Structure 1
Amino acid sequence: MPLKAKLILLTLIPLVIVTASVSWITLYQAKALGEKEISIFRESLIRTKEAALKDSVELAFDAIEQAYLDPTLSEREAKVEVKAILNRLRYGTDGYFFAYDKVGTNLVHPIIPELVGRNLLKLQDQDGDYLIEALLFQAQAGGGFHQYLWQKPQPGRRSLS
């Protein structure tokens, strides 16, 4: 191999290695930065949704409070009134309220009414999360949030899949 070719190779090989290394580092850092930005955006979105949900739940409590405080209603009548109120309440474009008793029996579900009366304590989402059990645990602990997978049904839908 001629000396000129050797000099060109000795010059090009380190240049290619440095260029490839810098490119890989840049791509790695861009990917890491992108993932960090996505994580920050996701956390911000979750906090915003949690705050909005908390406000909606407080409005629902305000709506049902009168039924519980009405001295002219028996406990049974108050419960019937509260269920009716929760069945009518909506939040956002497709949000609705549901209710369970302490053992996991559904009391209110305005979108899938055939769930009412069924014990769903051991209902699992597609990740294996016992979502009703977790929601009841959060409620008994004083409140909070629990993320789970649930395909939100459309109004008028008649079955649980």
Structure 2
Amino acid sequence: MRLSTPTLALFCALTTAAPLASKHNIYLGTCARPHSCLLIICDDPDPITAAAYYASGASTTARPTEITTISDPAAAWEGVSRSGRLTVGTLTSAIDKGAKGVVKGEIAGSAKIGSEEYVCFKDGATKFVVQGWDDWSAQRVSCTADYWCASTS
């Protein structure tokens, strides 16, 4: 079989092309709220589950584009569908029931914002800080990413 030069060039370009995907990322995490004190009495608030959306790629040093509380107090991500409202659309996550037991970096489930699909990976180690959101404390809130989701669009 003989292929023309233009056909070979097209074939080479197609087979070596990098996959195209969006920079959009989501951290599905558990956040520890700061202690609140009234005079000498301090409470130890329960953690919450939250989703941090990054329109320009995930970064532990960058401020998320948006963040939404998923559950207060915190609830497990695994085995149930969780959702929250973002200005770009409704976030829905579907983390597999056994995902808590997989190693970091393995596929753990999926998520969706509007029509944009995401694949989610086990994390459990990445830390990020949220500060100054309208419905969040003006203080720094420390979060751990349980799962990291990357857009497939």
Whether TM-score is above 0.5 comes out as no
Which category describes the TM-score, using the shorter chain as reference length?
A: 0.3 to 0.5
Q: TM-score, normalised by structure 2?
A: 0.36
Looking at secondary structure, tell me which structure has more helix per residue. Answer: 1
Please tell me whether Structure 1 or Structure 2 has the larger radius of gyration of its CA atoms. Answer: 1
Larger RCO (alpha carbons 8 Å, 6+ apart): 2
Looking at secondary structure, tell me which structure has more strand per residue. Answer: 2
Q: TM-score, normalised by structure 1?
A: 0.35
